[in-house]
Amino acid sequence: MGPNTGLSPETVKESLDEVFYPEYDYKEGRGMITAENTTFFKQKTTDKGAVQTEEFLPVGEWEEHAEEEEIRVATVRTDNKKVHTVLNYKKALKIPVEYYEDDMHDVVNSAVNSMARRARTTKDKVAIGKYSDGFSTETTSDGVAVFSNSHTTLSGDTIDNQETGVFNASNLETLVRSLRRQKAQDGDLGGHDAFGLLGALNLYEDMLEVTRSELKPGTANNDVNIFMLSAAYPSLEMVGTSAYLHSDYSSATNVNTSYYVVSRNHSLRRWVRIAMDTNIIDYKFDDKDRYTYKGRYREVTSWVSAEGVAASSGTV
């Protein structure tokens, strides 16, 4: 039952929160990723209005060391500074006091439930768009699109983390191999292995067949599916998708055919400044006798570098 008339604003808020947060915290079905997913988004917090990051040059290989020889000292060098400004998200719902007086709690609960659902889907849409827009508008610290053939490391080498092959077992192998060969900022091996596979909503069933079938899919023989061999790909633990990776909800080019492979060390980070916070203003302070139920959160999701991720537009 919803709140009754005459109750304190805090009691009203508590009752509304009991409707809001279960919907806001609802977990999607298996395989459907959200902004809180820890495989595809590095979860961070910040106490500032903006986060500053830089790409850095690794300390280099270890050297052989003779007894009592002076240890060689590495110096950390950074470049390509990027500022990620925390964004503010807010929504207010006006609820006439008469709704409580007349026990119209189904109407109120439906409105609050919808408000919570939209908060959740807004977060997911923004976060997942960092992948679908990664071929164009989303850039890394070097100013180049996330998925590109022309990233330049601090040592002057080129990183190519973009493929074009349509999704199938062979082209997924190509993408995973590209990730494994990827260089770090010092030009040496980055040390990346496939940890998660994310793809268009249209590809999800095919992705499961390719990565979870016991035998190689799409063939008439008994070849073993290498993605099911724990010794070969022990870390491909998450296969995910989202309705926001579909042209119904994204204007990104080739969104229906694109797929992405991430390592444990990719750089897409979600910094939370203020988690969801709800408040209420008493109807007595409103000229139209309405409670105001408000929610707000502050966060930013952004790429730092092109390391640890590779993607294919799925167009060839």
How confident is the model over 87-115, as pLDDT tens digits? 999 999 999 998 888 877 788 999 999 99
pTM: predicted TM-score of the whole model, two decimal places: 0.88
Q: In sequence order, what DSSP letters do the residues of 83-131 get, joined into one string?
A: EEEPEEEEEEEEEEHHHHHTT-HHHHHHHHHHHHHHHHHHHHHHHHHHH
Q: Are 152 and 307 in contact (CB under 8 A)?
A: no
Q: How confident is the model at residue 224 (pLDDT cuts 50, 70, 90)?
A: low
Exposure of 27 in the CB half-sphere (CA atoms within 13 A): 4
**Cβ partners under 8 Å of residue 169, min gap 6:** 210, 216, 217, 218, 225, 227
Q: In sequence order, what DSSP letters do the residues of 160-205 get, joined into one string?
A: --EE-PPSSHHHHHHHHHHHHH-B-TTSSB------EEEE-GGGHH
Rounded Cα gap, residues 186 and 58, in angstroms: 6
Q: Is the pLDDT of residue 34 over 90?
A: yes
Q: Are 53 and 84 in contact (CB under 8 A)?
A: yes
pLDDT tens per residue across span 244-267 = 999 999 999 999 999 999 999 999
Highest mean pLDDT among 4-8, 144-148, 219-223: 144-148
Higher-confidence residue of 296 and 75: namely: 296
Q: Could you give phi then psi for residue 139, rounded to 5 degrees?
A: -125, 165
Rounded Cα gap, residues 86 and 288, in angstroms: 34
Amino acid in position 310: A
The arithmetic mean of pLDDT across residues 282-303, rounded, is: 96
Q: Is the pLDDT of residue 223 over 80?
A: no
pLDDT tens per residue across span 3-26 = 444 568 888 899 999 999 999 998
Rounded Cα gap, residues 34 and 113, in angstroms: 18
pLDDT tens per residue across span 300-309 = 999 999 999 9
Bridge partners, residue 246, by sequence: none
Output the pLDDT for position 155: 87
DSSP state of 17: H
Q: Is the pLDDT of residue 1 over 50?
A: no
Q: Are 116 and 17 in contact (CB under 8 A)?
A: no
Output the pLDDT for position 227: 62
The arithmetic mean of pLDDT across residues 227-236, rounded, is: 54
**Cβ partners under 8 Å of residue 35, min gap 6:** 41, 123, 124, 126, 127, 128, 270, 301
Q: Is the pLDDT of residue 119 over 70?
A: yes
